[in-house]
Structure 1
Amino acid sequence: MLDLSVIILTYNEELHIRRCLENVKSIAKAIYIVDSYSTDKTLEIAKEYNQVVVLQHKWENNYAKQFNWGLGNAPVTTEWVLRLDADEYLLPELIAEMEEKLPAMDEGVTGVILKRRHIFMDRWMKRGIYPVKLLRLFRYGKGMCEQRLMDEHIQLLEGKAVEFEYDFADHNLNNLSWFCHKHVDYAIREAVDLLDMEYDLTGAAKEDEHRHLTEQAIHKRAMKHRYVKQPLFVRSFLYFCYRYFLKGACLDGKIGFIWTFFQGWWYRTLVDAKIFEIKKICGSDKTKMKDYISTYYKIQL
């Protein structure tokens, strides 16, 4: 067993939570579930596992805030912390790599970058977006989640990160309707995030250069800053073409098309439509934008 704690955020995750807990129970000394008052069997299932500790905290429409609350309130005593979502799991090769490398890790290394593969409709989306490299494993006290509405990353407070070879999987078992509804909810947060990049609604743009993020996260953030300067609706179409044709998602068959269309075009177009709506009502007045977003979407900036 590794000197490791796992933090999992949950809300009505009875479909996934057992798979997730079974996946990490043999390697983690402690598992902390930060639950947003689930009404299904999530907690009932979680309490079957001896090393699971459940904390409950009201969801405030902000993943980073919820994770950092859990990080600050869970009684973590281990050297390492792993951030994992309920619908994610570590592949056996990654577990073996962690067992081999973590105990002998150089003290100057405070974070580990892992590769995420997306499983959609039970198929690995090998092209178009893979691999997504994320810092998910870090020494306790050396990392936290940056405060963003979307695209939030673990940032190291000190030290350096190394990259592991093997993957963890994002494999949601809900149906396509659930997938679409989730992205409708994500769209306003993504729209506000892009508006923040364009108009600096929160002052976060001035802080970006001081964040200790992974190389891929910095590159992705830079690409997002370029994306926000492109024309509405044209950019979502071009993004789809980039992933589907240039990155090869067209080779993943019908499921690859569905995945790339919904996640890479439909969703991005919905985000642009929300931005268009907000700009139509508020113009470029930052105060009006913030008031409108607060009043109609309950997002405080």
Structure 2
Amino acid sequence: MLDLTVIILTYNEEIHIRRCLENVCPIAKKVIVVDSPSTDRTVEICREFDNVEVVVHKYPGNQAEQFNWALDNLKIETEWILRLDADEYLMPELIDELKEKLPKMDKDVAALSLSRARAFAGKILHHGIVNGIWITRIFRKGKARYEKRLMDEHLSVDGEIVRMEHQFVDDNRMTIGQFTIKHEGYASREAALLLDAEYHLTDTSSLPKDHGEEVERKRAQKERYAKMPLFWRAFAYFVYRYIIKLGFLDGKEGFLWDFLQGWWYRTLVDAKIFECKKACGNDKEAIKKYILEKWGIMIDD
């Protein structure tokens, strides 16, 4: 068993949590589920596992704050911490790699970056933009915490980050209807982020910059995307994913993923931005007020 604590943030994850726990409980000394709280059977399922601790904590508004609260308030006695979502699991090859490498990791290494595979409608995708995405998910206790961000938050790490060779999988079992409902909420946060990138609504000068080249590259891409014409950019993004990056080779599942998450979702984001700009023009204070009143999102100065 690895000297590892797994932290999982949950809210109504009964369709995913058992698979996740069955995947990590055999390899981790402890698993802590921080529930928001759920109204389904999530907590009941968690309590079936001996090395799982369930802590109920009211959701503060974003994943970063919830995870940092866990780091600050929970009893974590292991050297390493893994952040995992309920709809994710580690591939067998990654588990074997961690068993081999984690116990003898160099002391200068503060965190490990994992490659994420994407599954949709029960199929792991291999084309489009699903490959080559690296996310820092494992870190030494006291060496990392999340930046405060509406979504797409990343760990700020104090020390060297090493890449693992094998992957974890993001495999959501929601129906298409549930997927679209959930992404309506995501769209408001994504719209707020793009408006922030375009109008600099928040002061980011004090935020840490040590996320690594991969994260900074993605942030730069988002800023460029924010400057492109509304609606056209959503269509161009779909063409890039589905045609240029060969998403069509993943069959019907690949089409649904690239269309729903690439074109439909991005068009919904643009529609929200369009409504906001139509109501507020380029008035930054009016935009922040609109985001708070219409989407329930606080944009901090």
Q: What TM-score range do you get, normalising by the shorter chain? A: over 0.9
The aligned amino acid for 1:135 is: T
Aligned to 2:278: 280
Secondary structure of 1:34's aligned partner: strand
Within 5 Å, give how 1:204-219 maps onto structure 2. Answer: 204=204, 206-207=205-206, 210-219=208-217
TM-score by length of 1: 0.96
- The structural deviation recorded for 1:213 is 0.9
In structure 2, distance between residues paired with 1:83 and 1:165? 18
Task: State whether residues 3 and 80 of structure 1, in contact with CA within 8 Å, keep that contact through their aligned partners in structure 2.
Answer: yes
Task: State whether residues 135 and 214 of structure 1, in contact with CA within 8 Å, keep that contact through their aligned partners in structure 2.
Answer: no
Within 5 Å, give how 1:226-241 maps onto structure 2. Answer: 226-241=224-239
The aligned amino acid for 1:273 is: A
Could you tell me which of 258, 261, 264 is aligned with 1:260? 258
Aligned to 2:135: 134
Secondary structure of 2:136's aligned partner: strand
In structure 1, distance between residues paired with 2:60 and 2:126? 34
> What's the CA shift string for 1:52-94, capped at 9, x where partnerless?
1111111233111111112212211111100000010001000
Is it true that 1:35 corresponds to 2:35 in the alignment?
yes
Aligned length: 298
In structure 1, distance between residues paired with 2:86 and 2:288? 32
Aligned to 1:105: 105
The aligned amino acid for 2:155 is: I
> What's the CA shift string for 1:243-281, capped at 9, x where partnerless?
111111011112111110001111011101101111111
The aligned amino acid for 1:181 is: I
Task: State whether residues 9 and 86 of structure 1, in contact with CA within 8 Å, keep that contact through their aligned partners in structure 2.
Answer: yes
Secondary structure of 1:68's aligned partner: helix
In structure 2, distance between residues paired with 1:90 and 1:70? 22
Aligned to 2:177: 177
Secondary structure of 2:289's aligned partner: helix
Task: State whether residues 108 and 160 of structure 1, in contact with CA within 8 Å, keep that contact through their aligned partners in structure 2.
Answer: yes
Could you tell me which of 275, 287, 290 is aligned with 1:289? 287
Task: State whether residues 5 and 81 of structure 1, in contact with CA within 8 Å, keep that contact through their aligned partners in structure 2.
Answer: yes
- The structural deviation recorded for 1:32 is 0.8
Aligned to 1:125: 125
Is it true that 1:222 corresponds to 2:220 in the alignment?
yes
In structure 2, distance between residues paired with 1:140 and 1:211? 20
- The structural deviation recorded for 1:130 is 2.3
The aligned amino acid for 1:152 is: E
- The structural deviation recorded for 1:207 is 4.4
> What's the CA shift string for 1:190-248, capped at 9, x where partnerless?
000111111111112x346x421132212111111111111111111111111111111
Aligned to 1:61: 61
Structure 1 ranges of 4+ moved more than 6 A:
none
In structure 2, distance between residues paired with 1:180 and 1:71? 32
In structure 1, distance between residues paired with 2:136 and 2:108? 16
Secondary structure of 1:119's aligned partner: strand
Is it true that 1:195 corresponds to 2:195 in the alignment?
yes
Unaligned runs of 5+ in 2: none
- The structural deviation recorded for 1:26 is 1.2
In structure 2, distance between residues paired with 1:271 and 1:224? 13
Unaligned runs of 5+ in 1: none
Secondary structure of 2:32's aligned partner: strand
The aligned amino acid for 1:100 is: E
In structure 2, distance between residues paired with 1:174 and 1:46? 19
- The structural deviation recorded for 1:23 is 0.4
Instruction: Give the root-mean-square deviation of aligned CA atoms.
Output: 1.1
The aligned amino acid for 1:154 is: L
